[in-house]
Structure 1
Amino acid sequence: MHPGCNIDQVYLCREPIDFRKAINGLSALVEQELGLSPFASALYVFTNRRHTQLKALYWHRNGFCLWQKRLEADQFAWPVDAKAPTASCSLHEFGWLLEGFDLSKNTPHKTLNFARVS
């Protein structure tokens, strides 16, 4: 992404998309089908049916930015189980997804809340 671009949230579109879509089609999909603002400080990420490619769309100051990644021999671990149209994650977790980690299987340690030591 563009250096200095402020991304507060990452939305992973659960349903695969037609990868012929470019900026206009993807921004319309974000607004009309996902019910989100394409101008928010968010990254909208889409995958193809085989989960071998990603497209990421975001707004930066005065225009949309779009980038794509294609895996040559593997698949992205894509969230598909829930009924919501998107899954959200942090920018840090999105980096893990790009590296091949399955975010749904890798959960952090449970938070423990104690009232006292003894």
Structure 2
Amino acid sequence: MDTDFISELELSVRASNALRGMGVTTRDQFMKLTREDVMSVKNIGRRTWGEVRDLQEHVRYHERRLSLPGRAEALIGELNALNLEKHGFFVIRDKGRLRLGRYAVAEDLDG
């Protein structure tokens, strides 16, 4: 089944048609579009450019969120929600790194 990249985007018909007319067929092509590229298309104006720009920003936001640090932050939130302190663990952010630690308890110190 041949999927149409443009139809997967939540764009107006005008913006979708303009992108198809420009030959945009991949995510990378879409992300590289500039204001000048979009505005050079006949009958396309600021509103359509705004729509494209907003969607590009949305995609970038979600890509950052899915990056390794973004996923780690999400997992840290989930770990903290498990109330790890109750079990002697803690999670901190230290110099840009996420660290999982364990509090020393009397059983650890007994030989």
The TM-score by the shorter chain falls in which range?
under 0.3
| Bigger RCO of structures 1 and 2 (CA < 8 A, at least 6 apart) | 1
User: Comparing both structures, which one devotes a greater share of its residues to helix?
Assistant: 2
When Rg is computed on C-alpha atoms for both structures, the one with the higher figure is 2
Greater fraction of residues in strand: 1
TM-score (norm 2): 0.22
Q: Normalising to structure 1: TM-score of the pair?
A: 0.21
